[in-house]
A and B are shown apart, each in its own frame.
Chain A
């Protein structure tokens, strides 16, 4: 057992503690803010080490297998007419498509960070995440800036999704979008507000006319 519990932070960051040491360090971590901060910053360097091991690409089937397993465990909640299938009958075509996608993905992994409104809000001190049902998540900073990440089908022709900030019974417009996306909420989200999304006619409306597809709880 370490006499100085802080001393294990680097070994913990690289997963070099045995089971007992790990348990002891996690107990320490729960009560040591300094170690949590140190760990967060060492973990970034540790993750960078992963890039030092870049080698051959994984076989395309691996992606298909992971997605099949994932969907078998927890079917996608967005109800849609049949989406593209990763499984047979077109396994060969799918494998080629996946190989192409992996190629694109490698590029994506190596370009500078994709930094959207959601990440910007999350980067603020004290930011938190609030679930919006099973469709998405609200990121909210203490200063009231907010963004949502939402999984929804593309809006039909003539329609748009509209976000709302609802407080004290009054709904205020907070932005339009057309499908799964990240949207910056265009007004401050103060404590007690609910953020909701409805489907409206193109161009948006002044007040919601339909039941929300997704809504947060009142935020604190």
Chain B
């Protein structure tokens, strides 16, 4: 085999990242490609921010949580590769974790049980609003089909950042009851989302 030295070609990189899967983008992030990180942010930044804002109820803290989560994606993308989850799930899990860590540290949890997310306020395209709004409605629709006490446990836990022990205390129920409500509620939610075809369509 003839061996030549390859010079870095003096050309702009190909930036067709929009066509790549989330998993492929994450692999590129693991190879330190910051354009791939930007592309993942473009896909998940808004959902991440909405989630962080819902949990933290403070724009600055929500930005901190999203920033830390995406830096976590940047630092640990190679670790994802072993996790066998969808990239979207892994990223949103990191965002949730960061937001919950922050809310517990700041101790700003409140958790009015059934509070809804704020209405989208920023001007974006009608198409964005339609599809994101559609997903949001599907999730909220699925939540609304759960028995009230299961929905309450899930919403206070997931959006409120309460631990199951704190939930037990707040709702004045035995811990075992809370565990069972969470498990039954989340399993049922999974089935409802499956039926709605939502879960499977996540990137």
Contacts and interface: CB of A to CB of B under 8 A. Distances in A.
Interface of A: 2, 7-11, 13-18, 21, 40-59, 62-63, 65-67, 69-71, 73-81, 83, 101-116, 118-119, 122, 129, 131, 134-137, 139, 149-156, 159, 171, 178-182, 198-199, 207-211, 213
Given A44-B190, A118-B21, A119-B21, A57 B122 contact: yes
B108 to A, nearest CB: 16
B201 A11 contact: no
A108 B46 CA distance: 11
Nearest to A49: B158
A153 B131 contact: no
A23 to B, nearest CB: 13
A199 B9 contact: yes
A56 B31 contact: no
Given A8-B179, A17-B163, A47 B45 contact: no
Given A47-B93, A114-B20, A199-B6, A16 B167 contact: yes
Given A11-B179, A17-B163, A105-B41, A43 B93 contact: yes
Nearest to B131: A110
Interface residues on B, range: 35 or more
B46 A156 contact: no
B155 to A, nearest CB: 9
A134 B96 contact: no
Nearest to B44: A109
Contact of A51 (B8, B21, B135, B186): B135
A78 B121 contact: no
A182 B21 contact: yes
Contacts of A150: 28, 31
A103 B21 contact: no
Contacts of B136: 51-54
Nearest to A3: B176
B131 to A, nearest CB: 4
B201 to A, nearest CB: 5
Given A46-B158, A153-B8, A66 B71 contact: yes
A210 B163 contact: no
A108 to B, nearest CB: 5
Contacts of A47: 86, 88-89, 92-93, 202
Contacts of B25: 149
A150 B31 CA distance: 8
Contacts of B13: 78, 80, 83, 151-154, 179-180
A9 B187 CA distance: 11
Contacts of A75: 32
Contacts of B42: 63, 101-102, 104-106, 108-109
Contacts of B121: 55-56
Interface string B122-140: 1011011001111110111
B198 interface: yes
A102 B28 CA distance: 20
Contact of A48 (B32, B36, B176, B198): B198
A110 B185 CA distance: 25
A208 B179 CA distance: 59
A209 B41 CA distance: 38
Contacts of A105: 39, 41-46
A9 to B, nearest CB: 7
B8 A50 contact: no
